[in-house]
Structure 1
Amino acid sequence: MDSILVTGNGPLNGQIPIAGAKNACLTLMPATLLSDEPLTLTNAPRLSDIKTMTALLQSLGAEVSSLQDGQVIAMSSHDLTSQTADYDIVRKMRASNLVLGPLLARFGQAVVSLPGGCAIGARPMDLHVEGLEALGAEIELKDGYLHAKAPGGLKGAVHEMRFASVGATENIVMAATLAKGTTVLKNAAREPEIVDLVECLRKMGAQISGEGSSTIEIQGVDRLHGATHQVVTDRIELGTYMLAPAICGGEVELLGGRMSLVASFAEKLEAAGVSVTETANGLMVARKNGRVRSVDVVTEPFPGFPTDLQAQMMALMCTAEGVSVLEERIFENRFMHAPELVRMGANIEVHGGTATVTGVERLKGAPVMATDLRASVSLILAGLAAEGETTVSRVYHLDRGYEHVVRKLEGVGAKIERIKGQ
């Protein structure tokens, strides 16, 4: 199993190109199921999760081709052979459940495994089910699979979600594009990935308004056609690499970055003493005057502070002046990186959904283990600022969400290498 070796090496300087958004691309790919005409995505990230979604679509009979070194994905669902998403593929990635709405809308039936075999109430798949049932679907859970049908087709409705779930919003919006009549989705998630999905669906002929707000209105159409769409910049990769010069010092330009994607996050960096400015090509991040200041963080749905940047922000706070409190309100069990940071000399106390971090002068390199995608990159960031060597194991998580992480950090002066496992 591969590991990554990081050696603290001082300030970082240069440019890092930011890829297309993983979470956006994983949502856009199932949209091909809504039409029998080709859908082409450009600026696609080259990640293992994209390969998993490719395999899932191909298992349904879709044609999926990776072009231009993986940055273009050409798809066609003109001749699907199945409406069943098998557990063997779905278990690898939660976003696989996003085929449910499109299959149900176009074919009137779908059989989709619960991700990871979880119960409906865990990481709420129930919100997806409630929304689709509001559109007239009949859904039954049998043997770990959701069996969904809409014999007379889906019908528009007014539905208010109990929680602004990103995945449920995406599934319901896609399904509603082919429903009869008008759907009004209230308490909808507002993330940029949803705005990007709607822009793509609109190119395919969907009639949608209100994206980016808490109320989205969809007027159903008879069919959708083909389109070409550029995947939005990955705001989580952007925020992650913004933290590299913040934690190490120096000045790095993030190519393709937009302030609108990370406004609340940038505000926290500014409060900590890190400069964030827009340039003609992206965002410039600089830290030149000693240690950063501690800031408190509460994770919230967009436009609040992203839960997917909480682990990386904790790495920065480990060497900040003062005491910071990080409160996780989106996902439970999302402080599993804290004990690994403590192995590097961090002072962290976790109580339920709250972590209190007392900054130390310097972290020390140590062997640590990644527990999930964002935790893995937080440990790499911590290693960049630590004395000596840090070895991060179980970095297969990293390949799900960050393309060429070693190459990108090496390009701005980091001392980092990937060690191949036996």
Structure 2
Amino acid sequence: MDSILVRGGGKLSGQIPIAGAKNACLALMPATLLSDEPLTLTNAPRLSDIRTMTELLSSLGAEVTSLQEGKVLAMASHGPINTRAEYDIVRKMRASNLVLGPLLAREGHAEVSLPGGCAIGARPMDIHTDGLAKMGAQIDLRDGYLHAKADGGKLRGAVIDFPFASVGATENIMMAATLAKGTTVINNAAREPEIVDLADCLRAMGAQIDGDGTSTLSIQGVDRLHGATHRVVTDRIELGTYMLAPAICGGEVELLGGRIDLLAAFCEKLDAAGISVSETENGLSVTRREDQIRAVDVTTEPFPGFPTDLQAQMMALLCTADGTSVLEEKIFENRFMHAPELIRMGADIEVHGGTATVKGVAKLKGAPVMATDLRASVSLILAGMAAEGETTVSRVYHLDRGYEHVVTKLRGVGADIERIKS
């Protein structure tokens, strides 16, 4: 099993190109099931999760061709569609459940295995299935599969009130509603940039969608969708992760393609910690204003709040801050699994339920550590870049799910990092 070796010390300088958003692309790809015409995605990230979604769509009868070294995905679903999403593929990735809505909308029935993904807490499918049930779907769980069938063979519009702003459920219901009969209204809808990106793509395919970016979405169903070409939005989580690299190590790095509006709450916390973020012609420039980071408190929230997917990386930054920081995780209950690994590197962290108290230390020390999930893996790499000595991060297969060419990108700005093949 591969590992990442990091030698700490040294400031960073240069540019890092930011890829298209993994979470956006994983929602955009199933949209090909909604039309028998081609859908082409540009600025696609080159990740193992994208390959998993490609495998899943191919098993359902879609054609997916990777072009320009994986940066372009040419898809078409013009042939017969298989409506059973098998466990052996779905178990690899949580986002696999996003084929449920499109399959129901197009074919009127679907069998989708319950999904897998990072073990960062319960993410039940109830909110997805309850919404689809209001649209006329009959859904029951048998043998680990969701068996869904639209009443009369076609979904119908409905008013759906989410108990919380679920990104995945918003995406699933929005796609299903594009071909439903009548109007669907989603209250307490997720507002993330990935939702807006999906809405933009669906509109390019002929969907009638209003309210994306707000908490109320309205979708007027149409008879059919056509083909389109769509550019995947910048990955705000990769962007935030690499913004933290010069914050932790010092120096100045330009993030190509970066946008402050994607991470406004995150940028506010960086400013409070003593990190300057400025817009450039090509993206964002990040530099540390002072020798030592200032402690800040962080609470994760749905967009436009502080992203849960940047909490682990932010903790790595605050490990050497001046003072005590409190991080409150309100999205996923098991998302402090990186804390024991940071403690192995000399961090002073106490976790009680959904709250972590981080007392800044003078210096982290390199150590062998183990990645427990996708975002935890990169947080340990960031910590290793600031630590004395060598840090070896094992189980980095998590990393390949969400970051393309992480070693190449960090070495390009001066980090001493390499991948050790097993």
- Is the shorter-chain TM-score for this pair beyond 0.5, marking a shared fold? yes
1:355 paired residue number: 356
1:53-76 deviation per Cα after TM superposition (whole angstroms, max 9, x unaligned): 000000011100000000000000
2:47 paired residue number: 47
Asked if the contact 1:250/1:288 (under 8 Å) is kept, the reply is no
2:300 paired residue number: 299
The separation in 2 between residues aligned to 1:122 and 1:108, in whole angstroms, is: 28
SS of match in other structure, 1:253: strand
- Deviation of residue 122 (structure 1)? 3.6
2:7 paired residue number: 7
**After alignment, is 72-81 or 356-365 more displaced?**
72-81
**TM-score (structure 2 length as normaliser):** 0.98
**After alignment, is 151-160 or 168-177 more displaced?**
151-160
Runs of at least 4 residues of structure 1 off by over 6 A? none
Asked if the contact 2:377/2:396 (under 8 Å) is kept, the reply is yes
- Deviation of residue 252 (structure 1)? 0.4
1:56 paired residue number: 56
SS of match in other structure, 2:346: coil
1:183 paired residue number: 184
1:283 paired residue number: 284
SS of match in other structure, 2:397: helix
- Deviation of residue 288 (structure 1)? 4.1
1:214 paired to 2:215: yes
* One-letter amino acid matched to 1:246: A
1:142 paired residue number: 142
Asked if the contact 2:274/2:289 (under 8 Å) is kept, the reply is no
2:206 paired residue number: 205
1:169-197 deviation per Cα after TM superposition (whole angstroms, max 9, x unaligned): 00000000000111111000000000000
1:270-307 deviation per Cα after TM superposition (whole angstroms, max 9, x unaligned): 00000001111101000142011000000000000000
1:123-158 deviation per Cα after TM superposition (whole angstroms, max 9, x unaligned): 121000011111111101111100000142111111
The separation in 2 between residues aligned to 1:310 and 1:383, in whole angstroms, is: 17
The separation in 2 between residues aligned to 1:209 and 1:70, in whole angstroms, is: 31
1:35 paired to 2:35: yes
SS of match in other structure, 2:26: helix
1:308 paired residue number: 309
- Deviation of residue 80 (structure 1)? 3.0
1:25-72 deviation per Cα after TM superposition (whole angstroms, max 9, x unaligned): 000000000000000000000000000000000001110000000000
Unmatched tracts of structure 2, length 5 or more: none
* One-letter amino acid matched to 1:347: D
SS of match in other structure, 1:251: strand
**After alignment, is 65-74 or 2-11 more displaced?**
2-11
The separation in 2 between residues aligned to 1:135 and 1:417, in whole angstroms, is: 51
**TM-score (structure 1 length as normaliser):** 0.98
The separation in 2 between residues aligned to 1:105 and 1:405, in whole angstroms, is: 38
SS of match in other structure, 1:69: helix
* One-letter amino acid matched to 1:78: H
Aligned counterparts, 1:230-249, within 5 A: 230-249=231-250
The separation in 2 between residues aligned to 1:168 and 1:81, in whole angstroms, is: 23
The separation in 1 between residues aligned to 2:117 and 2:186, in whole angstroms, is: 28
SS of match in other structure, 1:116: coil
Paired residues, what number?
419
Asked if the contact 2:195/2:212 (under 8 Å) is kept, the reply is yes
- Deviation of residue 10 (structure 1)? 1.4
Asked if the contact 1:117/1:144 (under 8 Å) is kept, the reply is no
1:125 paired to 2:118: no
SS of match in other structure, 1:15: strand
1:319 paired to 2:310: no
1:116 paired to 2:116: yes
Asked if the contact 1:275/1:285 (under 8 Å) is kept, the reply is yes
The separation in 2 between residues aligned to 1:257 and 1:370, in whole angstroms, is: 27
What is the CA RMSD across the aligned residues, in angstroms? 1.1
1:169 paired residue number: 170
The separation in 1 between residues aligned to 2:187 and 2:167, in whole angstroms, is: 13
The separation in 2 between residues aligned to 1:117 and 1:408, in whole angstroms, is: 25
- Deviation of residue 117 (structure 1)? 10
SS of match in other structure, 1:245: helix
Asked if the contact 1:5/1:416 (under 8 Å) is kept, the reply is yes
